[in-house]
Structure 1
Amino acid sequence: MGLRTRRAVASLGIMIFLIGYIWVAIAVGGLIPDHPLALLTYYALAGTLWGLPLFPLLSWAEGKPFFKRR
């Protein structure tokens, strides 16, 4: 698979992932107690941790192995 194709597939995968992630984050956010510190903590974590699951996908899109085998 060529680099352009990998990047296109990765872009589509990122969009699908983000739509699902946002939907789940909003649903779970509705279950958080209505305390400002609890909401701030939850949305701060949810707003920053979304990128972690995308590292392997982005690495694959660039043609570099994410996990190096020894």
Structure 2
Amino acid sequence: MTPSWRKPVGAFLIIAIITVWAFIVASAAGPIGQLPVLIQAPIYLAAGIVWILPLKPLLMWMETGKWRE
């Protein structure tokens, strides 16, 4: 078996997605920090989960070479 180039590329893309998302959330921290804590918590909870959404198709592509099932 020859190694697939998709896995290193996919790993790089995962790191890039996390980095970009962290930058976006950190950029929004100022205005979000002005809100009451009970409003901040769900915003940061959602922000902590949303970055996972693009990973399913990316991981599928890394394994199979297809974006959809």
**How far did residue 42 of structure 1 move?**
0.8
- 1:11 paired with 2:11, answer yes
Whether the aligned pair in 2 keeps the contact of 1:3 and 1:63 (CA below 8 Å) is no
Partner residue in 2 for 1:48? 49
**How far did residue 3 of structure 1 move?**
5.4
Partner residue in 1 for 2:26? 26
**How far did residue 64 of structure 1 move?**
5.7
- The change in CA–CA distance for 1:3 and 1:45 in structure 2 (over 3 A counts) is farther
Whether the aligned pair in 2 keeps the contact of 1:3 and 1:62 (CA below 8 Å) is no
Q: Please give the TM-score of this superposition, normalised by the length of structure 2.
A: 0.80
Identity among equivalent pairs (%): 27
* Aligned residue pair count: 67
**How far did residue 28 of structure 1 move?**
1.6
